[in-house]
Amino acid sequence: MKISVARTALDKDRSELLAVLVPAKDWKAPWLSAGLRGALDVPVKLKDFAGDKLQKLLAYHGKQRVLFVGLGDKKKIDAETLRRAAAAATQKARQCKAATVSLALPPLATPNSQETGIAVGEGLVLGGYHYHGLKAPDKKLVKLKSAAVYLPKADSKFSAGLKRGSIGAEAQCFARDLGNSPGNVATPAMFAKEARKIGAAGGVTCKVIRLPELKKRKFGGLLGVNAGSTEPPVFLEMEYRPRSYKKTVCLVGKGLTFDSGGISLKPPGGMEEMKFDMCGGATVLATMKAIGRLRPAGVRVFGLVPSTDNMPSGSALKPGDVIKSYGGITIEVINTDAEGRLILADALGRAQELKPDYTIDLATLTGACVVALGHRATGLFSASDDLRDRLLEASKETHEPAWPLPHWDDYQEEMRSTVADIKNAGGRWGGAVTAFAFLKKFAGDLKHAHLDIAGTGWDMPKREYYEGGATGTKVRTLLRFLENLN
């Protein structure tokens, strides 16, 4: 979908759907044409529309559909309100089978017009997202071709923000596509193919480490989880390196393309959702894709994605087995369904060799985190106050909430093994916290943060820019985190 700032007057708009964002009690404002003000007269008199926050009204102006979206109190309009209001426009356009949509913004007393542009660009793209999957072609399906944004006056900062927001949101939609794809499609081989496409597009390099080299270099965690599978594993190493940089960041994503639990088999009910267990890896791939287009200054970025599925078979990893991770730490496997941390252990060992200033891993790691925080907030663990605070700031700015959880060394006691350096599962309680205690062992001296997206990678509450399935969560947060380093 092409997104641009409109060059014509609002009263000359001929799009198939015009969305007008209206602050509360502002429908008589002079920025609206007389015809549009007139379209609101009857709904307002009948109290069907008052401009309340995210209130929606579909009306008609001549032969054109007009969607009025309320913004609420003009003094309280924030980026999330604008993001959701813009998404309402493209969401309704899809429902109406409109190929073209326009969005009219009122004069806004916002402190940063670039931030407004970012929010609007994100909303337009995310609201227009639809995953058709492997269904038969729908002859009635109409794809959104363009979205034009009408401004009260020209604003170059807004325009720059609109482009930046749309690029980030397009990457988030790419992560959604990966997450929504079934496990027989989104295989490790497919992950490798998509990573190489990102590298070929420019700005980012990509290396795919395959089975022979994984064995030679002793990626024991990844090989152990893959032992029961017929799908070969891959380890993806991507890099963005500007000419000059002051900081280096390593992003690590769990690319578990399907998780049966292995020998510690999961219950059958809901197991189909385990195709989403690669959402952390999808977020890292998508972030690297956006980085290749945005080319942020002053920061070097690595993206590491270990990828496999976790299947039961005669050759599969067994409870009680001991494996050796990349870097030489031995692990007693208590539960083969605690497999994500095993492949992350290898990735964190590799990250240590890259010597980044910050390392962030993302994984749909524990059901315990969903119990603790539900589907609205990501669990954030970090022994670094600096990194924790930076991530919290970025998540707040992008409205992708995260919440800090404990990281005390006392939890290491629950991960002690009598036959190896560490075991991969603690007791029944505090599973999200003990999972991080495990990861800390492999992060070593890295300034490291772990984002448990088990509750936010999919199945979040629906809203204007999310209708279900994979969310692509934390792409926006990571991009903002990188931008804030400068």
User: For this structure, is 341 an active site residue?
Assistant: yes
Q: What per-residue string of b and e applies to 327-354 under the rule 16 or more CB within 10 Å gives b?
A: bebebbbbebbbbbbbbbbbbbbbbbeb
> Tell me, what's the pLDDT at 420?
98
* Residue 376, Cβ density class (10 Å: 0-12 exposed, 13-18 middle, ≥19 buried): exposed
User: pTM higher than 0.85 for the full model?
Assistant: yes
Q: What is the mean pLDDT of residues 198-219?
A: 98
Amino acid at 131: Y
Q: How confident is the model over 336-391, as pLDDT tens digits?
A: 999 999 999 999 999 999 999 999 999 999 999 999 999 999 999 999 999 999 99
Q: How confident is the model over 217-272, as pLDDT tens digits?
A: 999 999 999 999 999 999 999 999 999 999 999 999 999 999 999 999 999 999 99
Q: What is the mean pLDDT of residues 417-425?
A: 98
450's tokens: 């772990």
User: For this structure, is 289 an active site residue?
Assistant: no
Q: How confident is the model over 286-316, as pLDDT tens digits?
A: 999 999 999 999 999 999 999 999 999 999 9
> Tell me, what's the pLDDT at 28?
75
> Tell me, what's the pLDDT at 380?
98
pLDDT band at 133 (very low <50, low <70, confident <90, very high): confident
Q: How confident is the model over 463-473, as pLDDT tens digits?
A: 999 999 999 99
The residue annotated as part of the active site, out of 83, 164, 289, 341, is 341
Fold of 170-484: Aminopeptidase (3.40.630)
| Domain residue ranges of the chain, discontinuous segments joined by + | 2-151, 170-484
pLDDT averaged over every residue in the chain:
96
Checking 385-389 for CB contacts under 8 A at 24+ apart, the result is 386/447, 387/358, 387/360, 387/447, 387/448, 387/449, 388/449
405's tokens: 């959880």
Residue 109 in this model has a pLDDT that exceeds 70: no
| Beta-strand relationship, 245-253 and 234-240 | unpaired
Q: Which residues, in sequence order, are CB contacts of 484 under 8 Å at separation 6+? A: 390, 393, 394
Residue 423 in this model has a pLDDT that exceeds 70: yes
Q: How confident is the model over 314-343, as pLDDT tens digits?
A: 999 999 999 999 999 999 999 999 999 999
Residue 65 in this model has a pLDDT that exceeds 70: yes
Taking CA 300 as the corner, what is the angle to CA 118 and CA 234, rounded to the nearest 5 degrees?
100
> Tell me, what's the pLDDT at 51?
95
Q: Which residues, in sequence order, are CB contacts of 178 under 8 Å at separation 6+? A: 186, 191, 194, 278, 281, 282, 285, 286, 470
The residue annotated as part of the active site, out of 266, 293, 324, 447, is 266
- Domain 2-151 sits in CATH 3.40.50.720: no
| Beta-strand relationship, 298-310 and 245-253 | parallel
